[in-house]
Amino acid sequence: MAELTMIKAVTNALDLELGRDEKVLVFGEDVGRNGGVFLATEGLQEKYGNQRVFDTPLAESGIIGLANGLAMQGFRPVAEIQFFGFVFEAMDQIVGQAARTRYRTGGRFSCPIVIRSPFGGGVKTPELHADSLEGLFVQSPGIKVVVPSTPYDAKGLLISAIRDNDPVLFLEHMRLYRSLRQEVPDESYTIPLGQANVVRQGKDVTVIAYGYMVHVAQRAAEQWSKEKGVEAEVIDLRTINPIDIETIVESIKKTHRAVVVQEAQRSSGAAAEIIAQINEHAIYHLEGPVLRITPPDTVYPFGLIEDEWLPDEQQVLRGLEKVMSL
Amino acid sequence: MSTTIAADQIPHLQVLDENGKVVNSDLVPNLPDDQLRELMRRMVFTRIVDQRAIRLTRQGRLGFYAPVAGQEASMIGSEFATNKEDFILPGYRDVPQAHFHGWPLYQWILYSRGHQHGGEVPQDVNVLPPQIIIGAQYVQCTGMALAFKLRGEKRVAITYTGDGGTSQGDFYEGINFAGALHVPAVFIVQNNQFAISTPVRLQSAAETLAQKAVAAGIPGVQVDGMDVLAVYAAVKQAVDRAREGDGPTLIETQTFRYGPHTMSGDNPTRYRTKELESEWERKDPLIRFRNYLEGKGLWSEEDENRAIEEVKDTLNDALKQADSYPKMTIPGLIESMFENLPESLVRQKAEFSGEAK
């Protein structure tokens, strides 16, 4: 057991899977000798050689297309998109190709790729580095979308993603890479994809979040508890496609109120889907409407205003007050 | 001052002239008589299936179809140079190559109609169902070729696109990755002069499409795509090179499609002249190769008629098999999304089976 940051937990998961299964390959821009721009793949090329951990030319569609070809030939590629804002370049190879392979070939071929990518805001990047574009993939059939919020989860979920026989998008929030440490077992373990985690027990309202917003929600819940004695239950979704609606419904049966905290813009994303599913499965357990706490429907803004744009604890508290008053 | 790569800097291969006379005896492939006859039989088969397919489309018995007449040498000659264990990633027009590589005709018919089983390629057949997105197969081809290289297998990945496809980002990314990773791949550009209606001169200022290989650091070859022996020779050389670990090749076959882009309504008279069509018809790949074989006493009218007759039976059997294949169902479709369905899809499957919980 060691205290690891999320970035080290990712490296550890890749290391263990490269060691376990020779079909696992790790590649992308600068992932070899440099170990990735965030050092997620540090030391892996040295350990496993440049046939299994390698740099590619700088082209995202090429990287994912390469992964698709390898996967259809039985490999387990873990491809890195250096920043998630660059994913537009690879949309066809992900949504038009990888996610359709099983369907298109009636199961003759599958495409067990993992696409790892740093995403999320609050770290003052240039434009199109920090977007929260996960909603585009939540809407896409045939691909799973996983978003860990802790080092422990990152390791177990990434190992599950690599072993999954279908494409998985694995989104690592940049603000979480080095901001917290956690005890992480040395050995290999898996956390099932599609299973949410109740990270704070509470009886008064359900707060649903993923990625960095889990931490914002937890801090707001602690403050609320101290100041007002109101107890929020916080659910970390961990996977946003598919959504673990069962865990959400169980919580709402107890709290009868819910709010979703999302770092991405308001409309049509994961939060919208969560609320639609709550509507389908739990509306009679609710005492009021489910709210979304999100930034406005603008593009992800430039650095000098991003802190104001991103939801923070105060915004979550205001949202909680509002949902309790309805 | 500027310099560009000129067409005469790119090798241009031709074996037979328009009358079927050998113009380059060094390039004549060393194929036994029965294989030469097989090449002809396959080209006749392809031409007749194309004619039948056009009629079947008009009758509503086929769905999506992209005519192939004119491109037989390019298609048949290139596939003939591969081994069964080599992997072909076809574009949507490349049905003949996929078929002769093992994709059963009845599955092509189902694919054309929009039945999922069409793409369920048999286990021992090394092709993907035809790609619809122009160029997407190029980067995947590089990935498959890398798989062969990493496993130390002496296999080659072969893919196709058209003249329009060479404008796509995936085209450049595919050949550039292949060069950088030095993988056993062969990239074929069937330059049939028009991308739907857009002529190749509006597609690129490059004098040849083969020269696009130069920027990727791989060999580029242009070949007379109406000459089946030249196509075979060029692809065989590239496939052998790849198999021996000498890396990828880009091959441009200069060809022409006689018919429309697809049977979905484009009208070639709007974008090309009768003169241009006649000019290419004079280069016809079947006439040329038939003359060559007749000169060697390897093909007769009887052979031709037998090859034509054979299509009827084969195609009728395939149609019957396709007609009797079970219909798709929505639950079946849902099942094909993932190996293990998430709860949400399990519920939807029940809902669409009429067993909603």
- Side-chain-side CA neighbours of B260 within 13 Å: the count stands at 14
Using a CB–CB cutoff of 8 Å, tell me whether A103 touches chain B: yes
**Does the distance separating the beta carbons of A103 and B337 come in below 8 Å?**
yes
- Domain harbouring A62, CATH code: 3.40.50.970
Residues B168 and B212 occupy one common structural domain? yes
Residues B297 and B343 occupy one common structural domain? no
The answer, yes or no, to whether residue A286 has pLDDT greater than 80, is yes
pLDDT (tens digit per residue) in B119-148: 999 999 999 999 999 999 999 999 999 999
Residue type at B336 in one-letter notation: S
What's the rounded Cα separation, in Å, for the pair A57 and A295? Answer: 35
Is B229 inside any structural domain? yes
CB pairs A-B closer than 8 Å: 138
Residues A147 and A26 occupy one common structural domain? yes
Residues A107 and A208 occupy one common structural domain? no
Give the model's confidence band at A108: pLDDT under 50 very low, under 70 low, under 90 confident, else very high.
Answer: very high
Nearest-CA residue of chain B relative to A98?
B140
Domain end among A128, A160, A184: A184
Is A189 inside any structural domain? no
Residue A130 has what pLDDT?
84
What integer best gives the mean pLDDT of chain A? 97
Residue B139 has its nearest CB partner, among A66, A77, A166, at: A66
Residues B356 and B265 occupy one common structural domain? no
SS3 B4: coil
Residue ranges making up the domain that contains A302 = 197-325
The answer, yes or no, to whether residue B4 has pLDDT greater than 80, is no
Asked if B173 contacts A65 with a C-beta cutoff of 8 angstroms, the reply is yes
Asked if B158 contacts B128 with a C-beta cutoff of 8 angstroms, the reply is no
Is A192 inside any structural domain? no
Residue A69 has its nearest CB partner, among B146, B180, B333, at: B146
Residues B306 and B355 occupy one common structural domain? no
- Please give the average per-residue pLDDT across B24-42, as a whole number: 97
Residues B269 and B122 occupy one common structural domain? yes
- Domain harbouring A223, CATH code: 3.40.50.920
What integer best gives the mean pLDDT of chain B? 96
- Please give the average per-residue pLDDT across A150-176, as a whole number: 98
- CA dist A298 → A211, A264, A301, A309 (Å): 20, 10, 8, 10
- Please give the average per-residue pLDDT across A32-51, as a whole number: 97
Residues A81 and A153 occupy one common structural domain? yes
Chain B residues whose CB is inside 8 A of the A242 CB are: 342-345
pLDDT (tens digit per residue) in B296-320: 999 999 999 999 999 999 999 999 9
Residues A15 and A153 occupy one common structural domain? yes
Is A273 inside any structural domain? yes
Report which of residues A56 and B7 the model is more confident about: A56
**Element counts in chain A: helices (H) and strands (E):** 12, 14
Using a CB–CB cutoff of 8 Å, tell me whether A229 touches chain B: no
Residue A1 has what pLDDT?
84
List phi, psi (to 5°) of A294.
Answer: -150, 170
Residues A137 and A213 occupy one common structural domain? no
Give the model's confidence band at B20: pLDDT under 50 very low, under 70 low, under 90 confident, else very high.
Answer: very high
> For a pLDDT cut of 90, what percent of chain B falls above it?
96
Catalytic residue among B47, B101, B155, B261: B261
Residue ranges making up the domain that contains B352 = 327-357
Residue B355 has what pLDDT?
67
**Does the distance separating the beta carbons of A65 and B138 come in below 8 Å?**
yes
Instruction: Give, as one character, the DSSP assignment of residue B7.
Output: G
> Of the candidates A306, A172, A176, A196, which has an alpha carbon nearest to the alpha carbon of residue A260?
A196
The answer, yes or no, to whether residue B356 has pLDDT greater than 80, is no
List phi, psi (to 5°) of A66.
Answer: -60, -45
Strands B198-199 and B220-224: unpaired
Is A56 inside any structural domain? yes
- CA dist B239 → A43, B81, B169, B236 (Å): 37, 7, 24, 5
The answer, yes or no, to whether residue B2 has pLDDT greater than 80, is no
Beta-carbon neighbour count of residue A198 at 10 Å? 15
Residues B101 and B187 occupy one common structural domain? yes
Among A32-41, A106-115, B4-13, B303-312, the least confident range: B4-13
Number of structural domains chain A divides into: 2
Is A142 inside any structural domain? yes
Residue type at B285 in one-letter notation: P
Nearest-CA residue of chain B relative to A192?
B342
> For a pLDDT cut of 70, what percent of chain B falls above it?
98
The answer, yes or no, to whether residue A219 has pLDDT greater than 80, is yes
> Of the candidates A313, A4, A9, which has an alpha carbon nearest to the alpha carbon of residue A172?
A9
Residues B19 and B37 occupy one common structural domain? yes
Tokens coding B18: 């328009």
Residues A110 and A207 occupy one common structural domain? no
Give the model's confidence band at B5: pLDDT under 50 very low, under 70 low, under 90 confident, else very high.
Answer: confident
Give the model's confidence band at B8: pLDDT under 50 very low, under 70 low, under 90 confident, else very high.
Answer: confident
> Of the candidates B96, B52, B64, B105, which has an alpha carbon nearest to the alpha carbon of residue B231?
B96
Residues A215 and A176 occupy one common structural domain? no
- Please give the average per-residue pLDDT across A185-202, as a whole number: 98
Give the model's confidence band at A54: pLDDT under 50 very low, under 70 low, under 90 confident, else very high.
Answer: very high
Is B312 inside any structural domain? yes
Q: How many angstroms away from the CA of A89 is the closest CA of chain B?
A: 9
The answer, yes or no, to whether residue B83 has pLDDT greater than 70, is yes
Give the model's confidence band at B264: pLDDT under 50 very low, under 70 low, under 90 confident, else very high.
Answer: confident
Residues B286 and B333 occupy one common structural domain? no
The answer, yes or no, to whether residue B3 has pLDDT greater than 70, is no
- Please give the average per-residue pLDDT across A199-209, as a whole number: 98
Residue B6 has what pLDDT?
78
**Does the distance separating the beta carbons of B177 and A57 come in below 8 Å?**
yes
Number of structural domains chain B divides into: 2
**Does the distance separating the beta carbons of A73 and B338 come in below 8 Å?**
no
- Please give the average per-residue pLDDT across A275-283, as a whole number: 97
Q: How many angstroms away from the CA of B102 is the closest CA of chain A?
A: 14
Residue B300 has what pLDDT?
97
Residues B81 and B187 occupy one common structural domain? yes
